[in-house]
Amino acid sequence: MEVSVENLTKSYGFQKAVDSISFKVNTGEIVGFLGPNGAGKTTTMKIITCFMAPNEGDVKVGGMSVQANPEEVKRHIGYLPETNPLYKEMPVIDYLKFVAEIQNVPKPRIRDRIFEMVNVCGLKGEKFKKIGELSKGYQQRVGLAQALIHDPAVLILDEPTSGLDPNQIVEIRELIKKIGREKTVILSSHILAEVEATCDRILIINKGKLVADSTATTLRKQAQDKEIVKVTIEDGDRNEIYSSLQGLETVELVDLLPHNTQAFEVQSKAAMNSRKAIFRLCVDKGWSLTEMTPVERKLEEVFRDLTVTN
Amino acid sequence: MNKIWIIAKRELRSFFDSLMAYVIIILFLGFSGFFTWIFGSDIFLVGQASLQSFFGISFWTLFFFIPAITMGLLAEERKSGTLELLVTKPVSDWQIIAGKFLAAFLLICITLLLTLPYYLTVANIGKIDHGAVLMGYLGLLFMSASYISIGILASSITSNQIVAFLVALFIGIFFHLIFGLVSSTSGGWFAGLLGYLSLATHFESMARGVIDSKDILYFISIIFGGLLGTELVLSRRSVSN
């Protein structure tokens, strides 16, 4: 079931939380929703799940509008809100039964579904405990179990791994990947590594506007349009090396690195490669080239570029 | 209808799990029993085989207890965020509200059912007007339903249970007392209007054993007024939360 967000706008008073965002998520796709705090991620998710109505635009889930047909849309969505609200005084198994009933799971199937969710989410030992007595990680699993209990076609997860320990994070990521093969998943996060590890596509949102919509690899490539290498050249005069490097045809910019007087960062011109030229230069001048490392721009920097400068 | 029942069932269960239900039942039976049988203008003092004194005291105890039952119904869900989860399930706002109303109403029904021994006792010691008793209970049920509806409305506007409790009492006291008092000291159409708005007037006529469609209409308007008001408040959720 595909989710298409069309020109979505939502304001709180005068402040636009979401400013005409449009994107589309296809079946079997896991999309990561990235953005700094207050960028509008949660608001967008709340609109997709029919919790709030947008001021303008619409969201269609499997062709059904959240405004015209909320009841039908809600049936196909599993939602894990950011705060993971739960009825703390209820035992896990009673809570899952309640959610299953309210999600129209046919009566004969409820038992099986609960059993399956308890297994999948690793709640076997805790199923008779009250939710309030569970640790945060286990409560998160209960939240995930309630979102999955009716086998929804669309999953909306707002920061699903917050508050989990590293082992649990890996487990939940694996779980999401497994589920994501046949479902449409939208998950928000501000941990870039997480999004890169689980998602097929990344949407970056900032101040209510969509600033990027592509895969992690394309985003990286975009950032690495210009090759940067770190070189350390010894047995030569620093200033001479600097000016020689700058004199190379393919080089756009040479940076002197602090702390190490013989190290430079060389940025090539767009779509050019200066590694060979640097090597030849060293051979010609009799310098020793002791280090040449490509500098990889991290996704973090791309994220910062997109969200800070805008 | 099925969805309403699922929600009501969970709510009713949480009343009993949180001991709220037991506290309410014990306090209600304690108060009403004390004043019906032991103290004040009790049955033996009145010397008539009627439950008038019980209805009189219940009129006040229920007035105070119902806001305590309803205060958490929506305020607590709002506070803990579970309201967000509930409204994103395939249920309408109306079903949520109706389910909560039904749960509180059933709790009152259970409480009143436990006073059945009063009726059986009185019926054994004298000639009782069965019709009047039935009408009295019906009056209590209608009154309870009205205050539950007002209580849910109060609970929907805040995430603080104490505020919900006080707002419910504040709205309730107008219907319970103030309209009647002002009506009796003023005159003209205004007095008539306030007299009609006073819940006590309608309750008393029912407790005396008189059934009038005007009274029924009055109670039903308050019930639906409160519930529709709640729906309106819930539908404006985009502003808060």
Model pLDDT, residue B168: 96
- Among A137, A136, A144, A98, smallest CA distance to A117 is for A144
Q: Which residues of A touch B14 (CB under 8 A)?
A: 87, 89-90
A–B interface: beta-carbon pairs under 8 A: 63
DSSP B15: H
Q: In sequence order, what are the beta bridge partners of A18?
A: A10
Instruction: Give pLDDT tens digits for A135-166.
Output: 888 898 899 999 999 989 999 999 888 777 88
Q: Hey, what are A103's tokens?
A: 């999600």
Checking if the pLDDT of A310 tops 60, the result is no
Q: Where are the domains of chain B?
A: 2-235
Write the secondary structure of A199-263 as one string of H (helix), E (strand) and C (coil). CCEEEEEECCEEEEEECHHHHHHHHCCCCEEEEEEECCCHHHHHHHHHHCCCEEEEEECCCCCCE
Q: Cα B99–B24–B150 angle (5° rounding)? A: 45
Q: What is the mean pLDDT of residues B230-239?
A: 81
Instruction: Give pLDDT tens digits for B90-126.
Output: 999 999 999 999 999 999 999 999 999 999 998 898 8
DSSP A130: B
DSSP A125: G
Q: Is A71 on the interface with B (CB under 8 A)?
A: yes
Q: Are A95 and A143 in contact (CB under 8 A)?
A: no
Q: Hey, what are B127's tokens?
A: 């000639």
Q: Which of B1, B80, B93, B238 to mutate: most A Cβ within 10 Å?
A: B238
Model pLDDT, residue A309: 57
A250 backbone dihedrals φ, ψ, rounded to 5°? -85, -10
For B54, B199, B200, B210, B211, the CA distances from B206, given in Å and listed in that order, are 14, 11, 10, 5, 6
Model pLDDT, residue B143: 95
Query: What amino acid occupies position B36?
Result: T
Checking if the pLDDT of B240 tops 50, the result is no
Q: Which of A72, A101, A146 to mutate: most B Cβ within 10 Å?
A: A101
- CB nearest A81 (choices: B10, B84, B237): B84
Confidence of residue A213 (pLDDT cuts 50, 70, 90): confident
CA-nearest residue to A14 within chain B is B239
For A3, A54, A202, A243, the CA distances from A20, given in Å and listed in that order, are 16, 10, 18, 49
Confidence of residue B238 (pLDDT cuts 50, 70, 90): low
For all residues of chain B together, what is the average pLDDT? Answer: 90
Q: Give the rounded distance of the alpha carbon of B190 from its chain centre.
A: 27
Distance between CA atoms of residues B210 and B204, nearest Å: 9
Q: Is A28 on the interface with B (CB under 8 A)?
A: no
Distance between CA atoms of residues A63 and B97, nearest Å: 29
Model pLDDT, residue A93: 93
Model pLDDT, residue B95: 94
Q: What is the mean pLDDT of residues B123-143?
A: 90
For A244, A248, A265, the CA distances from A280, given in Å and listed in that order, are 12, 11, 17
**Nearby residues of A136 by Cβ (< 8 Å), 6 or more positions away:** A163, A164
CA-nearest residue to B239 within chain A is A12
Rg of chain B in Å (alpha carbons): 19
Model pLDDT, residue A224: 64
More confident residue, B102 or A175: B102
Model pLDDT, residue A16: 85
For A108, A177, B156, the CA distances from A104, given in Å and listed in that order, are 11, 25, 26
For all residues of chain A together, what is the average pLDDT? Answer: 86
Q: Which of A235-244, A295-304, B46-55, B138-147 has the lowest mean pLDDT?
A: A295-304
Tokens 């979102």 found at: A147
Q: Which residues of A touch B81 (CB under 8 A)?
A: 81, 83, 85
CA-nearest residue to A83 within chain B is B81
**Nearby residues of A57 by Cβ (< 8 Å), 6 or more positions away:** A5, A6, A7, A8, A9, A20, A21, A22
- Among A37, A32, A38, A30, smallest CA distance to A219 is for A32
Q: Is A158 on the interface with B (CB under 8 A)?
A: no
Q: Cα B60–B63–B68 angle (5° rounding)? A: 135
Report if pTM > 0.95: no
Query: What does DSSP say about strands A209-214 and A184-189: parallel, antiparallel, or unpaired?
Result: unpaired
Domains and CATH numbers, chain A: 3-221 (3.40.50.300), 225-296 (3.30.70.100)
Within 10 angstroms of residue A60's Cβ, the number of other Cβ atoms is: 19
Distance between CA atoms of residues B120 and A10, nearest Å: 62
Checking if the pLDDT of A36 tops 90, the result is no
CA-nearest residue to B5 within chain A is A102
Please judge whether B3 and A83 are an interchain contact, meaning their C-beta atoms are less than 8 angstroms apart. Answer: no
Distance between CA atoms of residues A251 and A88, nearest Å: 62
Confidence of residue B241 (pLDDT cuts 50, 70, 90): very low
Instruction: Give pLDDT tens digits for A52-69.
Output: 888 889 999 988 998 888
Q: Which of A141-150, A257-266, B135-144 has the lowest mean pLDDT?
A: A257-266
- Among A34, A6, A31, A40, smallest CA distance to A21 is for A6
Model pLDDT, residue B68: 94
